[in-house]
Amino acid sequence: MNYTSEMEKAMHQAHGISYEVYSSNVEARMKVEQKREQDYVKGKLLIARLDSKVHSI
């Protein structure tokens, strides 16, 4: 995979680490993936709440 400068910038903004650190450090990768999972779950819960409000009107 070709890693672009935009991808590098996004990794820094979202997780505070470079792609090189992400790809070479298992602990850093696990932290990033745990944060991604938490963000995914929060998003799903938010959508479920909004969906229930929309359908209860």
Q: Provide the token pair at 24.
A: 């070479």
Query: What pLDDT sits at residue 3?
Result: 82
Kindly list the distances between the CA atom of residue 46 and the CA atoms of 34, 40, 49, 52, in Å, as whole numbers in the listed order.
18, 10, 5, 10
Query: What pLDDT sits at residue 1?
Result: 72
Give me the residue spans of the domains in the chain.
Answer: 5-55
Query: What pLDDT sits at residue 7?
Result: 92
Query: What pLDDT sits at residue 57?
Result: 73
Closest CA to 5 of 14, 18, 16, 15: 18
In the predicted model, residues of the chain with pLDDT beneath 50 are none
